[in-house]
Amino acid sequence: GAGVSQSPSNKVTEKGKDVELRCDPISGHTALYWYRQSLGQGLEFLIYFQGNSAPDKSGLPSDRFSAERTGGSVSTLTIQRTQQEDSAVYLCASSLVGENSYEQYFGPGTRLTVT
Amino acid sequence: EDKVVQSPLSLVVHEGDTVTLNCSYEVTNFRSLLWYKQEKKAPTFLFMLTSSGIEKKSGRLSSILDKKELFSILNITATQTGDSAVYLCAVGPYNAGNMLTFGGGTRLMVKP
């Protein structure tokens, strides 16, 4: 089966523009996560969706960042009025959810460059 | 605040060497510790550890968790150039499916 896919793979935008990043999780995975990885840094949690529950937005760095997940599958991360410090690789992951702990599977990421 | 610290930050070895990567953590309601390998963009899953003292093994890679001392190690024996990557350690809280807290990673370079 297909893994997690993300689009676009690369995005260059001008400061102040809005961008949308897309994530298609593994079919059947009810949990979806967005992370950000700045150059040479570890992964920083942004937001987490599980089923129909309200998302955990505790990692979003500012109100310019938002995300939605339609139909419990595809997710879109939107960054409004982009700033240069938003430049990073944005990684999406998905996992099963249940009594056991499940590993997260990552997509290839979107490299965002704000000029 | 949950915290994951990896050491060393970077490591250069020659093919055939054995390496040990370290991960220490402070996290409330610990549930699991995961190791990932990141070569380009997407981290690929290596191991998930939930119980102390039980070694997980996959080929030349192995890992073990010590929940008393709050650390884990990842061993790679007979290293190959293909092992060159950033190795990420992450911990997850008890609630299933919640976000992971990642360490900063160890960059491993294996020279021929």
CB burial of residue B23 (10 Å; 0-12, 13-18, 19+) = buried
Distance separating alpha carbons of residues A66 and B101, to the nearest angstrom: 20
Residue A112 lies in a domain: no
Domain range for B28: 3-111
Q: How far is CA A100 from the centre of its chain?
A: 23
Q: Is the pLDDT of residue A81 over 90?
A: yes
Beta bridge partner(s), residue A112: A11, A88
CATH of the domain at A72: 2.60.40.10
Task: From chain B, pick out residues whose CB is under 8 angstroms from the CB of A48.
Answer: 97-99
Instruction: Report the gap between the CA of B80 and the closest CA in chain A (Å).
Output: 23
**Beta carbons of A109 and B42 less than 8 Å apart:** yes
Residue B94 is predicted with a pLDDT of 67
Instruction: Report the gap between the CA of A31 and the closest CA in chain B (Å).
Output: 6
Q: In three state form, how does the secondary structure of A3-65 look?
A: CCEEECCEEEECCCCCEEEEEECCCCCCEEEEEEECCCCCEEEEEEEECCCCCECCCCCCCCE
Q: Is the Cα torsion angle A77, A82, A86, A87 positive or negative in sign?
A: positive
The partner residue sitting opposite B34, judged by closest CB among A56, A98, A103, is A103
Residue A59 lies in a domain: yes
pLDDT in tens, A53-72: 888 888 899 999 999 998 87
**Beta carbons of A101 and B100 less than 8 Å apart:** no
Is B96 near chain A, with CB under 8 Å?
yes
pLDDT in tens, A23-57: 999 998 889 999 999 887 788 989 999 888 888 88
Residue A93 lies in a domain: yes
Q: How many CB pairs under 8 A join A and B?
A: 67
CATH of the domain at B97: 2.60.40.10
CB burial of residue B79 (10 Å; 0-12, 13-18, 19+) = buried
The partner residue sitting opposite A42, judged by closest CB among B32, B40, B104, is B104
Beta bridge partner(s), residue B25: B4
Residue A71 is predicted with a pLDDT of 80
Residues in chain B with pLDDT values less than 70: 94-98
Q: How far is CA B64 from the centre of its chain?
A: 9
Domain count, chain A: 1
Is B98 near chain A, with CB under 8 Å?
yes
Q: State how far the alpha carbon of B27 is from the alpha carbons of A71, B51, B57, B70, B100, in Å.
A: 33, 15, 25, 9, 11
Residue A101 is predicted with a pLDDT of 65
Domain range for A53: 5-97
Residue A102 lies in a domain: no
Could you give the 3-state DSSP secondary structure of residue B21? strand
How does DSSP classify residue A84? G
Residue A87 lies in a domain: yes
Domain count, chain B: 1
